[in-house]
Chain A
Amino acid sequence: MTIQAVRFDPDKDSAPRTQTYEIPFYDESMVVLDALNYIKSHIDGSLSYRWSCRMGICGSCGMMINRTPKLTCNAFLRDYWPRPITVEPLSNFPIIRDLVIDMDDFLHKLKSVQPWIIRQQDIPLGAREHRQTNEQIDDFRQFSQCINCMLCYAACPVYGINGEFLGPAATALARRYNLDSRDEGLKKRLPVIGEAEGIWECSFVGECSVVCPKGVDPAKAIQQTKLDTTMRFVLPYGNRE
């Protein structure tokens, strides 16, 4: 099977280039990550890429497979064979080396929505636990499934055009906490999600939800946030606690 991988050595290259490798396709369960590991082990040890769990839960191995953002541990060679596969670093991010991208902006944005339970008054440890029904968990369950793989940011053309955009995962994460019955921090998050480069930049392309490997549906999260935020300011007494 032919793998065309992007290479970039910051010390030697001025721009990324493509290198082609031929690997044996020995098992129908082989994924692109297996192919990359084979290349690194047997052909070219200098190939750099991120991976960890190899089972779709850690979110490390996101890359562009034939121009679509995918987890390489979740992209089966049999679905592409016999044609060559192009493997590129995730779109919309700066490239550090080969297939490794700079995720500082992503991490910064996740942190900016204060993704933790915020309460007016913290319940002291040992006093009692937060009680929550299954229905209350259902309200935000979907948005809590994010594995921070950044495929949604790679798929989002708005983020590609405007690096200031808050982005799908961060907004879905904010909504996960805003909908959590234990949380009282919506007003604290509002300045970040409701600012000009927050939710309003989104034009509902929807590709983020298409590529999400965990079914988080960040596009839905963003649109619901737009609606809820608007109602908050439009309805009388909407913006008071």
Chain B
Amino acid sequence: MTTEVQAAPREYGWRMPAVWWARQRHYFLYMLREFTAVPMALWLLWLLVEIQRASNGPTHYSPHGSPWFVAFSVIVLGFALYHSYTFLKLAGVIIRLKIFDRPIPSGAIVLAVFGTWAVASAVVGFVLIWFSR
């Protein structure tokens, strides 16, 4: 169903094709990008479950580890990386910053944003691995 602008009586009104997103590569990639939210949400829910399992006590605690879980994580990682790459790249393009009234080129901002991603990932990864000893 579309909210159509009123077409005059003899005009042929616009109807949006139901599968408009399958008609062009760019539209399909956009829908894929939007869809990444679903697997990411599911994985975060798994993380919450794993945190909750810490209350099971030492003898009954069992982290996720089945091959199915690893396969699920691989798929989620693909979607998460696609989200990160598209979102951070676009965020870098949008942000306008001026230092002493000189605008910073968007390429530099994009680089800074991706740099932040790398540093944050390294820090979190380090914490998760260091505190396993």
Contacts and interface: CB of A to CB of B under 8 A. Distances in A.
A8 B7 CA distance: 15
Interface residues of B, number: 27
Contacts of B96: 224
Interface in B84-125: 90, 93-96, 101, 103
A94 B11 contact: yes
Interface residues of A, number: 34
A135 interface: yes
A10 interface: yes
Contacts, number: 75
Interface in A82-103: 91-96, 102
Given A135-B101, A203-B34, A163 B2 contact: yes
B11 A96 contact: yes
A162 B3 CA distance: 5
Contacts of B94: 220, 223-224, 227
Interface stretch (B19-27, B40-48, B50-58, B69-77): B19-27
Contacts of A10: 10-12
The winner among B2, B12, B20, B30 for most chain A CB atoms within 10 A is: B12
Contacts of B7: 94, 102
B11 A160 contact: no
A104 B11 CA distance: 12
B12 to A, nearest CB: 4
A205 B30 contact: yes
A15 B12 contact: yes
Contacts of B3: 161-164
A104 B13 CA distance: 13
B3 to A, nearest CB: 5
Contact of A160 (B2, B34, B93): B2
A54 interface: no
Nearest to A163: B5
A161 B11 CA distance: 18
Contacts of B14: 91-95, 160, 163
Contacts of A220: 93-94
Nearest to B93: A220
Contact of B27 (A15, A95, A162, A207): A207
B8 A94 contact: yes
Q: Give 3 closest A-B pairs by Cβ, nearest first.
A: A94-B7, A10-B10, A163-B5
